[in-house]
Amino acid sequence: MEKKLTGKIAPDRIRLMETPRPPRGLVERFQALGDATGIVSDVMDSLGITGIVGASLLKPTIAGTCIVGPALTVRNTVQREHPYETAKAKVNKMAEFEAHNLAQEGDIVVIQGVAGVSNMGGISSQTGKRQGEAGAIVSGGIRDVAHSRSVNYPVWASEITPVTGKSRIETVEINGDIEIAGVRISAGDIVVADDTGVCFIPRARAEEVLALAERKHELEVIKCAALDSGTSVADLPTNA
């Protein structure tokens, strides 16, 4: 069914109307690894792939949550006009709701946002939850954290602030390339996020990363079982 745009962003600024889908079963296999950003980070290091951002920068709003899914990207910039003037004129150029409008089941909204103001609030989070999104990653501020928690919509963000972005932010692109903490992210790249941080995996390398992460996870399970059984430290497996 054709998507009806909300009109908050020019159609030519939406690079892809549909986020590229991961191979069948890939998301579920990543999910089976649990809180695996440490393992995935090690594998990406071994393959020379950049894409790790720690939870000290992108902090989760719901502890104990792990999400995996394709990135639906949004790029925001600061409006040129003074925010008090745009607020008085009721000018709102934020268009993350357009991203929600385009979202497919399991997508993760990833926003290259603006610092010091909110790039996503509670109603936006509730909309994302209703659309079936797994959650959101925001470089920049968010607000209404209690609201997003109440609908079980997890967000990883660099800031939390009550200051609205409605009169301060302009969304300039959806499903184009963005950059967060020096990491380049494209629509459809695989996002793995947990309490430890966020891994952005290039879509073309995701199956390669997954296969090695599964093997590393198996070895760590063996090592933990050996610990539980009382195996001496000197005799523990060392290849995990």
* 143 is known to lie in a ligand binding site: yes
Q: Are strands 108-112 and 135-142 parallel, antiparallel or unpaired?
A: parallel
* 205 is known to lie in a ligand binding site: no
Per DSSP (E only), the strands in the chain are 52-54, 59-60, 67-78, 108-112, 135-142, 155-160, 169-174, 178-180, 183-185, 190-194, 197-201
Q: Rg of the Cα trace of the chain? A: 19
137 alpha-carbon distance from chain centroid: 4
Nearest alpha-carbon partner for 110 in 135, 136, 78: 136
Tokens in use for 110?
Answer: 């990833």
Tokens in use for 98?
Answer: 């357009």
Tokens in use for 177?
Answer: 């390339």
Show binding-site residues for Mg(2+).
144
Show binding-site residues.
143-144
Show binding-site residues for substrate.
143
